[in-house]
Structures are given as C-alpha cells and as structure tokens.
Amino acid sequence: MAPTILVVGATGNTGRKVVETLPQLIKQSSSLSNHRILCLTRSASSDAAKKLAQIPAVEIVEQNWVEIDDAWLKEHNVERVFVASHNEPQQFAEEGQFYVNCLHAGVKYAVRISTTHPNVRPDFKAYYPRTHWAIEQMLSQPEFKDLAWTSLHPQGFIPMFLGSTVEFIKNFRKTGKQGTLSTMIDADVPYALVDSGEVGIVAGHLLAQEDVASHNNKKYIVNGPEDFSGNKLVKLVEEHIGTKVEEDKVVFKDMSFIEEMAKGPHSKNVILSIKHAGDAREDVTCRAAATSKEILELYAPRRTTAEVLEELLSE
C-alpha cells in the first residue's frame, strides 16, 4: 500500500482546505509524490465528502478517528497526519490516545490545531485551552521523540464569530427591522480573527514539507491579516444594511450561548468555564503582527473579515 497522509476531520472547517491544498503540493515533491491522501469522514455520502472524493489522489473513508488503533494506522501505512480535534471534556483522553497509537504505529509527523495562543497554559480558566497545553506537553516528552509534531495556534475563526451578524443582516434585508446584533468580539480591543480555511491551507503546507525537522516541536501563532474589533464589525454591518445600527441593538462580548451548552451531558462547571475564552484578547499575540514568521514564509493568511462576511451572505 502507498504511504499515506491521513486527514482527520476532512470535511470540517479546516480539514477541507487541507485536502484541497495537499495534492498539488505533494505532486511537486520528490519524496511525497507517491503518497495518497486518506480523508476520514462521518458520512462518505455527504456533499462535502463527495466533492473531496473527486480530487485526484484523495480517498474517502467512513471512520471514527477516536476508535483508530495502531494496527489500523499500520495497515493503512500512515506516515503523516492532520488532526482537528473536538474540544469536549474528553479531548485529552481521545486525542492523546490517538498520538500514542501514532507513536507505536511509526507515524512520522503530526500537524494539529490548537487554540488562541495566550490561552494555552496550565492555569487558564477555560478548560479546553488547558487540554491543548497538556497535549503539547505530552508530545514534548522524550518518549515521543520519534513522532515529530507541529501545533497551530489560530485566533478565533472568522465564520464562527459572524453567525449572528449574518442572521442580523439577512433579517434586516427581509423585514427592514433591526434585531439584536450579538457578537463575542470586544467593542474596542483589536483582535486578528483568521479564516478557518486558511488555517487549513497552512496545515497543508506543513504536511507537504520534504523535511519537517525545522517545524518539529513547534507551536506557531496563526493570526489573520488585520486587527478587528466589535466597533469595526458594526461599521461593516452598516455598509451592508445602508443605515446606522441602533446602539441598543448591539451586544458585545456576548457569551450567553454557553448557558445553553451547559445544559448538555457534561459538567456544568466545566462547560461554563468557556465564558473565559476571551479573557486574554488584549495580549499582543492576538494581533495581526504576531503571526509566527515561519507561517508567513509558508502561507500568510490574507482573507479579511469583510471578505468572509460577503461570502457567508451569498450562501
């Protein structure tokens, strides 16, 4: 069987661009041109999966990645992997187990998606950045020296921050009335939101490197090309609706949706800690200028919030 680059979460917000980016890059590589790209999905019959399956050198398989063991990885001759994990409370157990299996299967390189850089520390109040910190600590240990890895620390994904904005604009165009413009963004604090697809492109470039030694055990900041804020978002909305947004219709730093999430099966105390996810946004590493130089050399994110909003409104 041909050596394999495995993409976990191939139809997700970052995974799709990994898959679209890789084929052309490895085609030009002397050491990777014979590799196949194996994409995991929950449903091979989904529109997204069918679209990816049309790309040369790409194969689609229905497989729950958290159930993959080292025997499966060996059977499929996996040499490199991309992982965009869920961030539920069991993340460390499941993603950590996956890397242990990769190590024992002889996988050579892993590229993973982490979260906002200043949050990834052992004392952060929100639980999931601590999980990312713990996984990176595990991978940094000498026992994992045979598994090279790179962890990407992206800022907030633009589409995730624009859901309410798209709804507000579409509703105004339909009814002429202003609803509530709710956003997780602070009114004045500049924050370099990044397009999730471009984070996938960055990961694709890393996976296609002939020699990954210079990227081993690295944590790279991946920020967007501009510093954005809640007030800039309001001005952007006003351009789309052709009038001023009423002041009492705007809610900045809105994390109220976490209350609904806390009604789920996991510990309420743990889930509610997500409300602190934005606590470190004033850190300088959240600015556009903080993007790691290695990322700028590989592929510098360039899509703006205005461009992504335009695209979302056309869907």
- CA-to-CA distance for 192 and 195, rounded, in angstroms? 10
**Do residues 30 and 163 both lie within one domain?**
no
Identify the pLDDT of residue 56.
87
Q: What is the pLDDT of residues 109-120, one digit of tens each?
A: 999 999 999 999
- 295 found inside a domain: no
Q: What is the pLDDT of residues 270-312, one digit of tens each?
A: 999 999 999 998 999 999 999 999 999 999 999 999 999 999 9
**Do residues 22 and 111 both lie within one domain?**
yes
Identify the pLDDT of residue 1.
80
**Do residues 265 and 279 both lie within one domain?**
yes
**Do residues 28 and 76 both lie within one domain?**
yes
- CA-to-CA distance for 7 and 203, rounded, in angstroms? 10
- CA-to-CA distance for 272 and 44, rounded, in angstroms? 34
- 62 found inside a domain: yes
Identify the pLDDT of residue 235.
97
The pTM (predicted TM-score) of the whole model is 0.96
Q: Which residues of the chain have pLDDT under 70?
A: none
User: Where would I find the H helices in the chain?
Assistant: 15-27, 47-53, 70-75, 91-105, 127-139, 158-161, 163-175, 196-207, 230-241, 257-261, 268-272, 293-298, 305-313
Q: What is the pLDDT of residues 216-227, one digit of tens each?
A: 999 999 999 999
Identify the pLDDT of residue 144.
98
- 294 found inside a domain: no
Identify the pLDDT of residue 57.
86
**Do residues 83 and 162 both lie within one domain?**
no
**Do residues 182 and 210 both lie within one domain?**
no
